[in-house]
């Protein structure tokens, strides 16, 4: 049975990787991988969270590839899918999988059809809400807005490439999708494509797998405006960066508009090749600044107007004052108030807001909530909140717990004792210890440190 051979090969690969990267890193990341199948070009693996997938692609893609190539030299790519369900033995039992032509998967058809512009268009659906009309302009984003408006309304803006960056939830995606909406509505003959960098990479790897790299290179030939969001994702992914640079150069050379969005300025993006960095900095680089109280107030007022239920000025002010981390969280809080008002038929006032949003409006210095940290860490490590708060010493869970405690200390105004309480009634010294461990590890392990920074940015 080929699958047994494949499993054995995967086992040998794992041993080699373990030797190279050490047991600690191996247990934290590689042990989370489930082997699915291998043929002569692609190794298929799965993990159960996007965080782990991203970490593995960033840190160990080349390591895994090189080790598998020792057994199957023709392998050129690794496909990692994210799935929640544990794979069963029958999933692994792909007949003749070493040289299989097909991969048993419910998405087999779409997995194996070549990448087309139509597919790209279909999957780059824009959010209906993300228009210029719905974008509130204030001092932190007025320049970004003016540039976006200019690109949207002129044929040849001269701002090429545009590189837009800023923190999470600051309205970057909203703004670039507004450009796409405007172009599509006013110049329907133009092809405007919005794609995330992750999707760009997925499509590229897919075309490699299907050996249709030429097809991928031609994919963007008829695109007039290309928007690539979350460019930071390709940090450390060398082959994707090469392809990205190729596409980028083609747009610049043929004077077609390309817009890049990221969470950091080009020069600060980790793992991005120097040539690409300098190319990205070569056009107009614009940052969307942290929100001000005034902008948050205006955004809330504008969102509140869309609901039939009145939201008093005092409540809007309280929210704008308490929730400063990002606009998404601000909108979430407002939505919760409205939902509560409708479902339990309670008038919205400051008291009600404090009750409903007790986790958000703790006091002015508790900006990121403990609950949001716990939720975010649970998602990232693919564990449940019960596991996070439990006494288990299973390594991933213990690490997740320490990371969550560290972020809580760093991002909220709570004391060690208060944090211990919400983490399953633990003693304050446990929290002190956890914070110390995470700090130490961050200072010695750059990959770990980057993962924590990403986690923090996503809060």
Using CB under 6 A as the binding rule, whether residue 172 contacts ligand ADP is answered as: yes
Q: Which of 75, 120, 148, 170 binds ligand ADP (CB under 6 A)?
A: 170
Smallest distance, Mg ion to C-beta of residue 172, A: 5
- Contact letters for ligand ADP, residues 17-56 (x by CB under 6 A): ----------------------------------------
Cβ atoms 248, 197 nearer than 8 A: no
Q: Alpha-carbon torsion 116, 152, 176, 197, what sign?
A: positive
Q: How far is CA 300 from CA 60, 321, 353, 365, in A?
A: 43, 11, 14, 20
Which helix or strand (DSSP H or E) is residue 13 part of? helix 2-21
- CB nearer to ligand ADP: pick between 13 and 196: 196
Using CB under 6 A as the binding rule, whether residue 171 contacts ligand ADP is answered as: yes
Using CB under 5 A as the binding rule, whether residue 326 contacts Mg ion is answered as: no
Q: With contacts defined by CB under 5 A, name the span among 19-27, 170-178, 268-276, 450-458 that binds Mg ion.
A: 170-178
Q: With contacts defined by CB under 6 A, name the span among 99-107, 163-171, 220-228, 424-432 that binds ligand ADP.
A: 163-171
Cβ atoms 205, 79 nearer than 8 A: yes
- CB nearer to ligand ADP: pick between 153 and 458: 458
Closest among 284, 210, 286, 275 to 244, alpha carbons compared: 275
Which residue matches tokens 């640079």? 245
Using CB under 6 A as the binding rule, whether residue 210 contacts ligand ADP is answered as: no
Using CB under 6 A as the binding rule, whether residue 135 contacts ligand ADP is answered as: yes
- CB nearer to ligand ADP: pick between 192 and 297: 297
- CB nearer to ligand ADP: pick between 126 and 210: 126
d(CA 367, CA 203): 38
Residues 250-309 that bind ligand ADP (CB under 6 A): 299
Token readout for 445 is: 């392990």
Rg, C-alpha atoms of the chain: 24
d(CA 44, CA 34): 9
Instruction: State the number of binding residues for ligand ADP (CB under 6 A).
Output: 18
Smallest distance, Mg ion to C-beta of residue 173, A: 3
- CB nearer to ligand ADP: pick between 352 and 457: 457
Using CB under 6 A as the binding rule, whether residue 129 contacts ligand ADP is answered as: yes
The site partner of 135 among ligand ADP, Mg ion, none (C-beta below 5 to 8 Å per kind) is ligand ADP
Which residue matches tokens 């509140």? 304
- CB nearer to ligand ADP: pick between 192 and 333: 333
Which residue's beta carbon is nearest to the bound ligand ADP? 171
Smallest distance, Mg ion to C-beta of residue 376, A: 16
Using CB under 6 A as the binding rule, whether residue 233 contacts ligand ADP is answered as: no
Q: Which of 46, 48, 141, 173 binds Mg ion (CB under 5 A)?
A: 173
d(CA 437, CA 433): 6
- CB nearer to Mg ion: pick between 173 and 325: 173
Helix (H, G, I), strand (E, B) or coil at 259: strand
d(CA 9, CA 22): 20
Q: Which of 105, 173, 402, 408 binds ligand ADP (CB under 6 A)?
A: 173
Closest among 99, 103, 108, 104 to 5, alpha carbons compared: 99
Smallest distance, ligand ADP to C-beta of residue 377, A: 19
- CB nearer to ligand ADP: pick between 294 and 351: 294
Using CB under 6 A as the binding rule, whether residue 136 contacts ligand ADP is answered as: yes
Residues 324-383 that bind ligand ADP (CB under 6 A): 327-328, 331
Which residue matches tokens 């172009």? 183
Cβ atoms 98, 229 nearer than 8 A: no
Give the residues across from 257 on adjacent strands.
225
Give Cβ neighbours of residue 228 (< 8 Å, ≥ 6 apart).
195, 196, 197, 200, 244, 258, 259, 260, 261
Give Cβ neighbours of residue 400 (< 8 Å, ≥ 6 apart).
377, 378, 380, 381, 383, 387, 388
Interacting residues toward ligand ADP by CB under 6 A: 129-130, 134-136, 141, 166, 168-174, 299, 327-328, 331
Kindly list the residues in this chain that would bind Mg ion in the complex (CB under 5 A): 173
């Amino acid at each position: 049975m080929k699958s047994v051979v494949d499993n054995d090969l995967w086992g040998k690969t794992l041993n080699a990787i373990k030797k190279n990267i050490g047991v600690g890193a191996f247990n934290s990341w590689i042990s989370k991988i489930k082997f699915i199948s291998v043929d002569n070009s692609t190794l298929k693996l799965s993990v159960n969270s996007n965080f782990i997938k991203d970490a593995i692609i960033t840190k160990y893609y080349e390591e895994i590839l090189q080790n598998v190539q020792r057994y199957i030299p023709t392998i050129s790519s690794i496909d990692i899918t994210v799935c929640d369900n544990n794979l069963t033995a029958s999933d692994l039992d792909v007949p003749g999988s070493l040289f299989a032509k097909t991969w048993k998967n419910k998405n087999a058809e779409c997995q194996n059809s070549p990448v087309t512009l139509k597919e790209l268009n279909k999957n780059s659906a824009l959010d209906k809400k993300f228009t210029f009309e719905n974008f509130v302009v204030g001092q932190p984003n007025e320049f970004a807005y003016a540039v976006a408006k200019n690109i949207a309304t002129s044929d040849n803006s001269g701002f090429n490439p545009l590189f837009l960056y800023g923190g999470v939830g600051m309205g970057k995606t909203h703004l670039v999708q507004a450009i796409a909406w405007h172009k599509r509505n006013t110049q329907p003959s133009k092809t405007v494509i919005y794609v995330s960098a992750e999707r760009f990479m997925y499509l590229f790897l897919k075309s490699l797998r299907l050996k249709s790299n030429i097809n991928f290179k031609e994919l963007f030939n008829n695109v007039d405006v290309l928007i690539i969001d979350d460019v930071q994702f390709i940090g450390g992914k060398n082959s994707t960066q090469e392809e990205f640079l190729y596409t980028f150069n083609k747009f610049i050379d043929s004077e077609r508009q390309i817009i890049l969005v990221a969470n950091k300025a080009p020069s600060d993006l980790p793992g991005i090749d120097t040539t690409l960095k300098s190319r990205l900095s070569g056009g107009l680089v614009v940052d969307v600044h942290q929100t001000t109280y005034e902008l948050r107030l205006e955004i809330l007022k504008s969102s509140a107007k869309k609901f039939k239920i009145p939201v008093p000025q005092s409540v809007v002010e309280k929210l704008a004052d308490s929730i400063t981390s990002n606009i998404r969280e601000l909108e979430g809080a407002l939505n919760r108030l409205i939902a509560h008002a409708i479902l339990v038929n309670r008038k919205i006032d400051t008291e009600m807001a404090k009750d409903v949003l007790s986790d958000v409006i703790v006091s002015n210095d508790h900006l990121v909530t403990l609950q949001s940290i716990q939720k975010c860490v649970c998602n990232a490590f693919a564990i449940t909140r019960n596991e996070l708060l439990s006494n288990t010493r299973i390594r991933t869970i213990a690490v997740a717990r320490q990371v969550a405690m560290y972020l809580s200390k760093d991002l909220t105004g709570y004391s060690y004792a208060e944090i211990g309480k919400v983490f399953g009634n633990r003693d304050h010294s446990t929290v002190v210890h956890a914070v110390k461990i995470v700090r130490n590890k961050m200072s010695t392990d750059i990959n770990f440190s980057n993962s924590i920074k990403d986690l923090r940015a996503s809060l």
